[in-house]
């Protein structure tokens, strides 16, 4: 099963009031194993960057000013995600921004039927616990020491690990899968990632072993009887 784990960075919290998407990072997973295929891009929001938002992700307007507009990369993004389910932490927030940007381009929204929200999954598994990405990474022992600021691709990579843990770890469906190696690569050039969409295959195989005979042979029975005869007044004969 192909799934896309993703995260976004924005200029604020409300796309309805003019906040814009400035970064998106996507991780492709096959049978909940990262294939190595990613999609990552920064976007020029065509507006200012509030200081509060810049303090979170560190993306300034000076840095974003020469980046492509979302409309210029929209189809590339849609081609990468295909029709796969989309996994995000507090997914309604990310879907809201993506669909607002798609609407500005005159494109159809991504159906929320495809949405998998790891916050909702974590809330069911750990009611009353802290549900931030940081808190859940700490709970599951996921290393985030290299995370000094929020970043869409970095957070998507952490989320991919967390998603696997929330869904039961590597043992999926009570069967241990043997995953095939990936066949391709992603190339990062400058501040924009150029993606080579990979053809990836994976297989879950189980070796068949013929049943072994379990009955004792006549020779084994005779040796056992000889051994038992050596006991003097055994407890089991009383």
The per-residue DSSP string of 50-64 comes to: -HHHHHHH---HHHH
CB 92 within 8 A of CB 115: yes
- Active-site choice (126, 150, 214, 224): 150
Let me know if 126 is a catalytic residue: no
3-state secondary structure of 221: helix
The first and second tokens of residue 7, run together, are 């995260």
d(CA 102, CA 34): 26
Number of other CB atoms surrounding residue 161 within 10 Å: 18
Q: Is 7 annotated as a binding residue?
A: yes
Q: Is 57 annotated as a binding residue?
A: yes
d(CA 19, CA 16): 7
Q: Is 155 annotated as a binding residue?
A: yes
Q: Which residues contact 214 (CB under 8 A, 6 or more apart)?
A: none
Name the binding residues: 7, 9, 52, 57, 155
Q: Which residues are annotated as a binding site for a divalent metal cation?
A: 7, 9, 155
Which amino acids are annotated catalytic? 150
Residues annotated within a binding site for substrate: 7, 9, 52, 57, 155
């Amino acid at each position: 099963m192909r799934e896309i784990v993703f995260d976004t960075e924005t200029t604020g919290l409300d796309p309805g009031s003019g906040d814009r998407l400035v970064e998106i990072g996507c991780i492709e997973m096959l049978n909940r194993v990262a294939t190595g295929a990613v999609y990552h891009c920064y976007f020029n929001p065509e507006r200012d960057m509030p200081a509060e938002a810049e303090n979170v992700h560190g993306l300034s307007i000076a840095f974003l000013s020469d980046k492509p507009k979302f409309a210029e990369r929209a189809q590339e993004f849609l081609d990468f995600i295909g029709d796969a389910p989309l996994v995000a932490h507090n997914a309604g927030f990310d879907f809201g921004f993506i669909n607002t940007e798609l609407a500005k381009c005159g494109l159809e929204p991504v159906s929320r039927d495809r949405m998998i929200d790891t916050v909702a999954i974590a809330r069911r598994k750990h009611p009353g616990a802290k549900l931030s990405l940081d808190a859940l990474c700490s709970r599951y022992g996921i290393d985030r020491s290299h995370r000094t600021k929020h970043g869409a691709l970095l957070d998507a990579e952490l989320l991919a690990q967390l998603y696997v843990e929330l869904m039961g770890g590597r043992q999926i469906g009570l069967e241990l899968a043997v995953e095939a190696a990936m066949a391709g690569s992603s190339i990062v050039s400058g501040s924009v990632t150029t993606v080579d969409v990979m053809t990836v295959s994976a297989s879950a195989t189980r070796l068949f072993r013929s049943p072994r005979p379990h009955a004792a042979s006549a020779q084994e029975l005779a040796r056992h009887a000889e051994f038992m005869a050596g006991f003097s007044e055994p407890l089991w004969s009383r």
